[in-house]
Each structure stands twice: as structure tokens, then as C-alpha cells.
Structure 1
């Protein structure tokens, strides 16, 4: 049986980065609002560790996205399949990523994908052309994490 997984990404603003990547990948931002409200009501979560985002209370230092077709827990909003968890850390990004995403263009093609990603806040860094082996843009998300957009 395959294991459940999530890719955890350290960042300065987990909610903004989750919004960016949800839009970029056409994923769903997880909404833990019901769980946060339950924890607040039970006195198990201090108000200071929450914030308002997307119309509900969320955990201040955490945000996640999930594939829209995967199962999820309705109370916590936690996906039970392909997920990305963005967690707040105090230090800024300082070196090149050792792991990155490749985002592949759909029917609209690479130019349309790159234009859409830029409209969401991504930045083009370098065009790579390896002929028959492939062509792609190296890009950065709003916090400077590198990723590739390929045709």
C-alpha cells in the first residue's frame, strides 16, 4: 500500500505562499477552520496562534494545499493524498533549493503557463534549451523558491 505524503516548504508567509501554489497548480487551499474553532472553544489553542484568512480562522504559522480530487477530512480540512504544507520559519531563504517542482504546461502551452504564473507573482529567471531533451523556464515563486515551467 502506498504511503500518504506531504511536501513541507519552509517560508515567511505560509498563507500567501499556499494561495500562490494553489492557484499555480490548480489545487485547493485546505480550510482547517472547523478544527481551529473547536480547539479555540475547548481552550486547547490560544487565539494568538490563529489568524483570519479566506473567511475562516486558520493556524497562524501553517497553511496547506491538496489535490482537488483527493479525499480529505471535513473537520480539519487535511488532505489524505497529494499535499503541500507551508510552515513559517524565522529565517529567509538563503541558498538554491535542493528540491524543486516542475510544472508542466497543459493545452494552452508553455507561454500561457508562464504568463499565468507571472500574473500570480512568479518571476522568470532563465530559459533552458536542451534541444530534444527539453526546454523550460527556471522561475521563482513569490518567496524566491526556484521551480521549472516546462512545455
Structure 2
């Protein structure tokens, strides 16, 4: 039976990406990798959660990717604090052309240009 094993992200600098995502998510580097990938970050202490594998990509990150990571926060204040923290770690704000009138998300790019969102789960449903 299949199960979702991990999310794999293409990057140009594995060390830089591992440091950014380790600090962003509070994950730890798995010694020896996992699931065919050499660089894998996992929740600390074997806690349940999504693993993030990093591998070299020779193509640039697309401007409008078909898939991306959503990072969840409880409310607007936490969203603002986390966006500021992530920018401090090396993420960049993205001038996203698809924001609705009252967005519940902020689009950022990691140091490799991979887009991800910080989503306010306390925002009223649309």
C-alpha cells in the first residue's frame, strides 16, 4: 500500500537550503538520508510530521509553480511574526500577482527561489 513518504525540493545549493529549511521548520538533518535522498530534514526526535528532502536541480524555480509548500500558523499576528523571521533567515517576499482581495496567505521564496506560503488558519473562510 502506498503512503506519502516525503516532499522533495530541487535546489542549487544543498547546504544553504538545508540550513534555511532546518532553521525555518525546526527540523533536524537525518544522518545518512532517507528514501533514496542524501539530504533529508525531519521533525526533531522522531516526532511525526512531513520530511523535506533536498536534491540538486539544474533548472530554475518556476515563477508560477504547480505545487508549493504551505506553512500554517494560528492567526495574523503569528503570520506576521513568522514572515519576518523567515525573511530574517533569507527568504524573500514575492510580489505575487494572484493575491485575492483579502488573502489568508503570504507568498515567500526560499534562497533558491522556491515559492512557499505562510497561511493564517484563523482567517475567515472565503
Normalising by the smaller structure, the TM-score range is: 0.7 to 0.9
Aligned to 1:118: 87
What's the offset of the Cα at 1:22?
Answer: 1.6
Q: SS at the partner of 2:6?
A: strand
Residue 142 and residue 126 in structure 1: after superposition, are their counterparts in 2 closer, same or farther (change >3 A)? same
In terms of fraction of residues, the more strand-rich structure is 1
CA contact (8 A) 2:32 2:38 kept: no
- Which structure is larger by alpha-carbon Rg, 1 or 2? 1
1:103 paired to 2:71: yes
In 2, the alpha carbon distance for the partners of 1:81 and 1:4 equals 11
In 1, the alpha carbon distance for the partners of 2:2 and 2:50 equals 12
| 1:142 aligned residue (108, 111, 120) | 111
Gaps of 5+ in 2: 121-126
Residue 130 and residue 25 in structure 1: after superposition, are their counterparts in 2 closer, same or farther (change >3 A)? farther
TM-score (norm 1): 0.62
What's the offset of the Cα at 1:2?
Answer: 7.2
Residue 106 and residue 2 in structure 1: after superposition, are their counterparts in 2 closer, same or farther (change >3 A)? farther
CA contact (8 A) 1:122 1:140 kept: yes
Deviations 1:69-121 (A, max 9, x none): 536xxxxxxxx963111111333334432111111225761110010000110
In 2, the alpha carbon distance for the partners of 1:90 and 1:147 equals 20
Aligned to 1:86: 54
| 1:65 aligned residue (29, 37, 41) | 41
